[in-house]
Each structure stands twice: as structure tokens, then as C-alpha cells.
């Protein structure tokens, strides 16, 4: 029989819980317990990092547009305002849907910062991951990209870094030329990445008359995808009332076909005729918004027909995140 391993006597705890630094999973825990970090304080830290935050953008100005730019819009930028203002010598901080070479962030030669929104993130809190990348980009040397890294579970979030009173105003682009001020002098790698991204981009337009509604063009038909801030159950009831009454469409040839669920919000989706452009959506969308407001205000129990409509809408939901 193999000899039993001698029991390791737990050392005296040297640090308070709030002071335990992050170390390698197999290294001794800095608290002095004698156990490996992953079996001691690393267990709680790992759980905190991987726990999913369902509404990472809640509390930020333009939460619905944050969701749209993360999941639906190919090419867009937004000027960001920091709580503490821009560091000296930094002309701007800009949120972008994606960056060349899938960089999480980029400190340009002129000192400005681009932060990518659609990258994979290492933890369950997208807001914390983006804030960590942004803060590291602010300290990066001009002309250098910022790599992804493991994020501390107690690190700041976007809600701690951005000015909550500043407007969030997306600018949708037809391509990704905003990546480089001078595309002719871009490196071959960036030029190739730009070409691939432009080829894959779906033409998209943000409606002007309603919030967070995005028209897009596809080969067979067009779509309107509208991120809404209302609680899911309440919104489903309201959409069911309109659907049962035959007023859930955006006009002739259009149809409410279902919804996405993304980052804690619902995104109803309409099929549109290929002849219906973004401008033609403006008036019907504004009229639908009025009907939806009235339906949201109703507390009456759903009728049998409305319940059937609700069940159909629920069955056609797709979760994106």
C-alpha cells in the first residue's frame, strides 16, 4: 500500500479577505492556509469572474443601443465621455463595434483610444471586461493595440468609468474605414482585415424617430430589429395584445416574426419587403411606438386569442447572450 501523504498543517492566515492578491491556480494561496490558490480564495474569485451578469449595460446611458451595437450592428462608433475627463494629451475615446485584427482596444498614434465592443470577453461581466480594457488602453503607449487578459472580480465596471449624464449617440457606418485615418498607408494585415470586414458588413441604418431601432438589408428581404427597454413579461403581453388585434405590423407586406433576447433585453424583429428602406420605416415605427405605449399601459387580463398570440411570440424567441 502506498504511504499516506503527511497532512499539511494550515498556516496562520496572514491577510484579510479583501487583501488576497490573484496568483496562479496551482500556487500556494497568499492567505497562508497551505492550500493551493484554486482550492482556497481562488474558488470564490473564479466564481465571481464567471458568474453571468444578465444586464451588463444597465444604468448606462443608451443601454438599448449598447445591446444593438454589441449584437446587431456591423459598423458603428460612439464618442465616450469619461467621468474624470480625458487624460492630458488624449484627444478622444471612441467605442467601436469591432477593430482590425479583433483587437480589444487600440491606442492610436495621435493618442486617441478606440474600444471594441464585439470581442469575446474572459468573464461573465461584459461591463467589467470592457472597463478593464478601456483603462489599460488609456495607459498604453500611442500606436499600440491592447490585448485581452483576465479581469479581477472586483475591478471597476463601465458604470464606474463613464459619465452617466453624457449622451450616447451611435454613428452607423457603411464600412470600417474609421479604423485608420489614412487607409492607403495601413499595414498589409490591417488592409486585409478591413477588406474582409467590409465584404461581410450588412447595410444597416439607425432610425431617427424612435430609439434603438435598426433597419438592415439582406439579399431576400429587409428587417427591422428594435431593442426595447421594457421588462420582458410586460413587453410580451403588450406585443401579444397588438398581434391579436392585427396591429403588430409596420404596414403592408411587413410582419412581426419573433424576437431576440440579448443582455437582459428583448429585441422584436420585423420582416420587411425588399423595397422598404429605412426612410419608409420611420413613420410606421413611430405609429407602432404609440400603439405599444397604449398596450403597455393596459392591466387587463389577456384574452384567449391574446394568450395564443403570446405563446407564438414566446416560441419564436432566440437568445443571443
Measured distance CA(139)–CA(111) in Å, rounded: 10
pLDDT at position 14: 45
The residue whose grid cell reads 407602432 is 288
Contact indicator for 223, 269 with CB cutoff of 8 Å: yes
Average pLDDT over residues 35-51: 63
Average pLDDT over residues 80-95: 95
Average pLDDT over residues 15-41: 69
The residue whose grid cell reads 470581442 is 119
Average pLDDT over residues 169-192: 85
* Predicted confidence (pLDDT) per residue in 193-204, tens digit: 888 888 889 999
- Rounded (5°) CA angle 63-64-67: 90
Give the range among 31-35, 69-73, 87-91 with minimum mean pLDDT: 31-35
Average pLDDT over residues 224-239: 98
Per-residue exposure over 88-105, b if at least 16 CB sit within 10 Å of its own CB, e if not: eebeebbbbbbbbeebbb
Contact indicator for 99, 147 with CB cutoff of 8 Å: no
Measured distance CA(146)–CA(138) in Å, rounded: 10
Q: Residue 125's closest CA among 155, 165, 148, 95?
A: 155
* Predicted confidence (pLDDT) per residue in 103-150, tens digit: 999 999 999 999 999 998 889 999 999 999 999 999 999 999 999 888
Q: Residue 60's closest CA among 69, 52, 51?
A: 69
Kindly compute the dihedral angle of the four CA atoms of residues 110, 118, 130, 25, in this order, to the nearest 10 degrees: -120
Kindly compute the dihedral angle of the four CA atoms of residues 35, 36, 39, 43, in this order, to the nearest 10 degrees: 130
* Predicted confidence (pLDDT) per residue in 298-318, tens digit: 999 999 999 999 999 999 999
- 8 vs 202, residue with greater confidence: 202
Instruction: Please determine, for residue 255, whether its predicted confidence score (pLDDT) is greater than 80.
Output: yes
Contact indicator for 259, 320 with CB cutoff of 8 Å: no
Q: How far is CA 12 from the centre of its chain?
A: 44
Three-state SS at 199: helix
Of the pLDDT bands very low, low, confident and very high (cuts 50, 70, 90), residue 2 is very low
Amino acid at each position: 500500500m502506498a504511504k499516506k501523504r503527511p497532512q499539511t498543517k494550515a498556516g496562520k492566515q496572514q491577510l484579510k479577505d479583501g487583501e488576497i492578491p490573484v496568483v496562479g491556480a496551482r500556487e500556494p494561496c497568499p492567505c497562508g492556509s497551505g492550500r493551493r490558490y484554486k482550492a482556497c480564495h481562488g474558488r470564490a474569485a473564479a466564481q465571481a469572474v464567471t458568474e453571468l451578469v444578465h444586464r451588463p449595460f444597465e444604468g448606462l446611458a443608451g443601454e438599448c443601443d449598447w445591446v444593438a451595437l454589441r449584437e446587431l450592428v456591423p459598423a458603428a462608433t460612439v464618442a465616450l465621455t469619461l467621468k474624470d475627463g480625458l487624460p492630458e494629451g488624449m484627444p478622444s475615446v471612441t467605442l467601436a463595434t469591432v477593430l482590425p485584427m479583433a483587437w480589444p482596444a487600440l491606442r492610436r498614434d495621435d493618442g486617441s483610444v478606440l474600444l471594441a465592443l464585439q470581442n469575446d470577453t474572459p468573464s461573465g461581466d461584459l461591463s467589467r471586461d470592457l472597463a478593464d480594457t478601456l483603462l489599460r488602453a488609456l495607459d498604453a503607449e500611442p500606436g499600440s493595440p491592447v490585448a485581452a487578459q483576465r479581469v479581477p472580480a472586483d475591478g471597476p465596471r463601465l458604470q464606474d468609468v463613464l459619465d452617466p449624464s453624457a449622451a450616447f449617440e451611435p454613428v452607423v457606418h457603411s464600412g470600417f474605414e474609421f479604423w485608420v485615418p489614412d487607409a492607403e498607408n495601413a499595414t498589409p494585415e490591417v488592409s486585409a482585415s478591413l477588406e474582409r470586414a467590409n465584404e461581410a458588413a450588412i447595410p444597416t441604418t439607425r432610425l431617427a424617430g424612435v430609439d434603438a431601432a435598426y433597419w438592415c438589408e439582406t439579399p431576400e428581404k429587409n428587417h427591422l430589429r428594435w431593442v426595447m427597454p421594457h421588462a420582458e413579461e410586460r413587453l410580451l403581453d403588450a406585443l401579444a395584445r397588438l398581434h391579436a388585434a392585427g396591429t403588430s405590423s409596420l404596414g403592408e407586406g411587413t410582419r412581426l416574426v419573433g424576437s431576440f433576447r440579448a443582455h437582459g433585453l428583448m429585441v422584436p424583429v420585423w420582416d420587411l419587403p425588399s423595397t422598404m428602406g429605412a426612410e419608409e420605416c420611420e413613420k410606421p415605427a413611430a405609429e407602432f411606438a404609440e400603439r405599444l405605449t397604449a398596450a403597455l399601459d393596459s392591466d387587463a387580463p389577456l384574452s384567449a386569442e391574446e394568450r395564443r398570440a403570446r405563446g407564438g411570440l414566446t416560441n419564436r424567441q432566440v437568445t443571443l447572450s
